[in-house]
Amino acid sequence: MRMRKKKHGEERILACAELLISDPTVLKDDPRIPFSDKEKELCLEIGCGKGNFAVGMAEKNPDCNFIAMERVRDVCCIALEKAMACKETRPDNLRFIIGDADNLDEWFPEGSVDRLYLNFSDPWPKAGHAKRRLTHRNYLARYKRMLKEGGLLIFKTDNVGLFDFSLEEFAEFGLEILWQTRDLHNSERAEGNVMTEYEKNFSEKGFTINSAIVRF
């Protein structure tokens, strides 16, 4: 996600400090440290963009703790501000990391995450860029280490090329595809679906949404 540099970006991020995990290496000891209720399931979204999904999911699922990760500071700033504004009391089950999925191994202990969400990940359409796709087997190997045994990856994308590639990667990596659809909004999982910014935009333009749930 490209974005013009935000005015006063750093001050705005600082104003949301209570929701930001500024040093994600602290998670390596215990990824539940940022949360008051440490018994809840831990969910991670990678590439949260402007935060609609993370904020909506945290509100709808008070029994889960959510960490939303975004590598572009100015984009994460918008997500942080959305979370700060979402209700009088700040969500106590949602925290953000400004950082890259390439660092997952340094931040999350083995078998620590229950569910991983990838929403409208960058498709990197050129064959030479396949390794950058967040569903490439190199990333799946990182997720396998970080997720609990039987942990779920829940994936949504408008991009048919990325979806086909991802299904092949899941199968070749030996993962069980529990559910898939080429039209999420007309499926049995439409109810309760929390839309992302990209999802809203693409579906308003008439694109159908592909989705898969995969067990590790």
Ligand X SMILES: C[S@@+](CC[C@H](N)C(=O)[O-])C[C@H]1O[C@@H](n2cnc3c(N)ncnc32)[C@H](O)[C@@H]1O
196 binds ligand X (CB under 6 A): yes
> Which span sits near ligand X by CB under 6 A: 46-54, 146-154, 176-184, 203-211?
46-54
Cβ 101 to ligand X shortest distance, Å: 4
**Binder to ligand X among 66, 120, 155, 165 (CB under 6 A)?**
120
Residue 178 CA: distances (Å) to CA of 111, 192, 212: 20, 18, 8
47 binds ligand X (CB under 6 A): yes
75 binds ligand X (CB under 6 A): yes
| Stretch 85-114 residues interacting with ligand X (CB under 6 A) | 100-102
Residue 104 CA: distances (Å) to CA of 85, 99, 112, 144: 28, 9, 11, 11
Is there a contact between 95 and 18 (Cβ–Cβ < 8 Å)? Answer: no
- Dist. CA 2–CA 102, nearest whole Å: 19
> Which span sits near ligand X by CB under 6 A: 35-43, 140-148, 170-178, 196-204?
196-204
49 binds ligand X (CB under 6 A): yes
Cβ 180 to ligand X shortest distance, Å: 18
Compute the 3-state secondary structure of the chain and give helix, strand, coil in percent, each to the nearest 5. 40, 25, 40
Structure tokens at 169: 């990667």
| Burial class of 5 by CB neighbour count within 10 A (0 to 12, 13 to 18, 19+) | exposed
Q: Residue 183 catalytic?
A: no
70 binds ligand X (CB under 6 A): yes
**Between 81 and 122, CB nearer to ligand X:** 122
> Which span sits near ligand X by CB under 6 A: 32-40, 60-68, 78-86, 119-127?
119-127
Query: Which runs of E-coded beta strand occur in 71-109?
Result: 94-98
DSSP designation for 20: B
34 binds ligand X (CB under 6 A): no
Catalytic residues: 122
Residues that bind ligand X (CB under 6 A): 1, 46-49, 69-72, 75, 100-102, 119-122, 196-199
